[in-house]
Structure 1
């Protein structure tokens, strides 16, 4: 066992580095592999390799359901990775042969789109905020802006409240806490538009029977950076005093079982770095304070993510314990997944608790709301796909993903109400 760790350490040290703030980072010939993990030794080796080295980027962490892990590798490290996988008998399959090719294709606007804001391409933060201003102006009687707080770089974290009257129960949606997950803000803006403009009976009921609090882009600094500098950027943008690596995983920074059970990293260069302390990030702290201020106004909390097609309920910090209402959470989850599966796309979603179904993830926003604000219905929704495109989901799939979201949401809210959580 000691020899195995020494060999892994050699590979790690040979390729370790720090983040570089280039004009526009490219990913030519970067590949994404699916690794099938057959034992705990293999898992620990891969985790150590990807945690310390900046030449590797975990796109999908190992989960108990599939026994697989997706990792992007720098082309300069490809030979080392192949040797590493062969040495330790780790099965692998190439998912994406050239990440930059997907990024380039993603940037080409669809010919079907007019000059108006739509959902056939992805938008930058400034464009989304301009659209949000237009929505607020177009629907002044049922919408109002709220500001969660300010980011590290001084940007406002904006949200929109949609309300058709007093004394309605609320649903809060937080989107794009991970910067590179562009499909989340695209889906959030589409969902806002549907709540305001759709004439479909079920959508109108959804819009008019509840108050909606929606933050289309939560990690505003990281999202801007993902457009301007590095498409694959995930974290916040606050520097560290002791490391050249920048940012924290905002979804590991909340003060609820923070850093418990190895559910986050203490390495600043890791994509799942939890920060020096809980709420080290002004964004996470501001959201917690805002949610606390409106805690009596909402009952359901949803966090939009990608990718993997999962509906994940608490707990994230442990797979050995479950909430008292776990069975009801799974009943609601079944309604969501079945509604999506019934659409013509027949897209399969898997439901379950984060830790038992996927992996241990401590300090998440959903767990914080569930545990600290005692809200009994909370989910992380991981959108399309299963890995063919990963974080670089083609714009052509935005509409289908949004349709699946609406079908799932109608079913989720209906079942939640039936079970008495939205009385």
Structure 2
């Protein structure tokens, strides 16, 4: 049986040709089919793992990690017959979800900000490109000079800045005393995975709320803590989703015939132990070494300067409506699991109050899948941030492959319910510190 499977894999991989997206021409997915796979046996999972990253003619939209989970893959039209023959021969359950992926992607062209609109008109009714957001961040430092300062949290492979905003009210510095404790910090990171546009949109929404919302609960948390917010942790990849390939996930570092590593598998905490790939063409490629990507390495260097000042680390991803906490490399629970779970319970209850949006989750390993080398684990394990969480934002997991294309009219509702959840989360943490 294994010899037969191996022959099938070799035939298919031998037929697949690597398509290099080296030009500025936008990648299209006309007549690409979207299939859902589900491995029921270790042998079937091994077959799917072999296909992941074998060619750009097969694009896996979620990780190939465990049995009995739904795996979505785009298949180029000229490889459908070979792909289906392999699934049938190996007994892998498969279902056609969409016959032409490009039709769904075309809808999204209406969601991007108009580059010709009035300068400074930055809203959350549309998705913005990188330069647009960076210009808005710089304008905040001019508009709120006493509260806002910019910082460069790192660099990208293509030379872009990883730009962040620090929000600190009053004249109190990070190290001065507020009541009985030093003024504590909160770090928010977004845009790690390039195609997850709702992530940076949510982080900028939070920035705006901290500066403009007059609600007393928002004002309390805005002014009590020092906030560090990085909307785009992977700027090269994000730009690439606008210019060339909407479904790009990784960084843009070249590795042979392939490009990029998964920046959320590249952090130096149990790196590449589980839930990642050593194949440079895979979307979950962990990189050749921990912190091989300049984006993760320089961002980590900046965060390291804040060690001892942060009590909360929030990472925003999409999608599935999950709230996650450490660990991703093991099912062993963190030492302060009871407190992490207590805050989790409050946060998921709060996120549902406004619109009824249901979040579930728990520790990464059990709640979603094994995944070592993620930023939230590094923040918890290396930087000793006691409360470290990842929000997998709207839509729910039932959205199938279309979840990366959340309509722009859901940006504000997403931001509102995440603000509700974050306020409840901070209030509960304060109670635990008391």
TM over 0.5: yes
**Does the alignment pair 1:126 with 2:131?**
yes
Structure 1: how far apart are the matches of 2:296 and 2:333? Answer: 25
Is the contact between residue 112 and residue 128 of structure 2 (CA under 8 Å) also seen in structure 1? no
Structure 2: how far apart are the matches of 1:396 and 1:93? Answer: 30
What is aligned with 2:349?
338
**Does the alignment pair 1:86 with 2:88?**
yes
Structure 2: how far apart are the matches of 1:202 and 1:193? Answer: 15
Structure 1: how far apart are the matches of 2:132 and 2:168? Answer: 24
**Does the alignment pair 1:238 with 2:239?**
no
Matches within 5 A, 1:257-276: 257-261=270-274, 263-276=275-288
Q: 118-127 vs 79-88, which deviates more?
A: 79-88
Number of residues paired by the alignment? 416
* Candidates 379, 396, 405, aligned match of 2:389: 379
Structure 2: how far apart are the matches of 1:404 and 1:269? Answer: 36
Is the contact between residue 308 and residue 383 of structure 2 (CA under 8 Å) also seen in structure 1? no
**Does the alignment pair 1:195 with 2:210?**
yes
Structure 2: how far apart are the matches of 1:248 and 1:399? Answer: 31
CA displacement, residues 20-69 of structure 1 (integer Å, 9 cap, x when unaligned): 22311112222333323323222222122123232222222257697222
Cα offset, 1:292, TM superposition: 0.8
Cα offset, 1:181, TM superposition: 0.9
**Does the alignment pair 1:292 with 2:304?**
yes
What is aligned with 1:318?
330
Q: Which runs of 5+ in 2 are unaligned?
A: 173-181
What is aligned with 2:142?
137
Structure 2: how far apart are the matches of 1:61 and 1:41? Answer: 17
* Candidates 358, 364, 374, aligned match of 1:348: 358
Cα offset, 1:255, TM superposition: 1.2
Structure 1: how far apart are the matches of 2:85 and 2:314? Answer: 42
**Does the alignment pair 1:205 with 2:207?**
no
Is the contact between residue 343 and residue 425 of structure 2 (CA under 8 Å) also seen in structure 1? yes
Is the contact between residue 306 and residue 391 of structure 1 (CA under 8 Å) also seen in structure 2? yes
Q: 31-40 vs 366-375, which deviates more?
A: 31-40
Cα offset, 1:105, TM superposition: 1.7
**Does the alignment pair 1:19 with 2:32?**
no
Is the contact between residue 309 and residue 383 of structure 1 (CA under 8 Å) also seen in structure 2? yes
Structure 1: how far apart are the matches of 2:258 and 2:346? Answer: 42
Matches within 5 A, 1:44-83: 44-62=46-64, 67-83=69-85
Relative to the length of structure 2, the TM-score reads: 0.90
Q: 104-113 vs 222-231, which deviates more?
A: 104-113
Cα offset, 1:74, TM superposition: 2.0
Is the contact between residue 64 and residue 358 of structure 1 (CA under 8 Å) also seen in structure 2? no
Cα offset, 1:284, TM superposition: 0.9
Q: 92-101 vs 67-76, which deviates more?
A: 92-101
Structure 2: how far apart are the matches of 1:170 and 1:160? Answer: 13
Q: 15-24 vs 172-181, which deviates more?
A: 15-24
Q: 399-408 vs 275-284, which deviates more?
A: 399-408
Q: For 1:260, what is the secondary structure of its paired residue?
A: coil
* Alpha-carbon distance change, 249 to 7 in structure 1, aligned in 2, over 3 angstroms: same
Structure 1: how far apart are the matches of 2:371 and 2:199? Answer: 19
Cα offset, 1:188, TM superposition: 0.9
What is aligned with 1:253?
266
| CA RMSD, 1 decimal | 2.2
Structure 1: how far apart are the matches of 2:30 and 2:429? Answer: 46
Q: Which runs of 5+ in 1 are unaligned?
A: none
* Alpha-carbon distance change, 295 to 34 in structure 1, aligned in 2, over 3 angstroms: same
Is the contact between residue 32 and residue 94 of structure 1 (CA under 8 Å) also seen in structure 2? yes
Cα offset, 1:376, TM superposition: 1.8
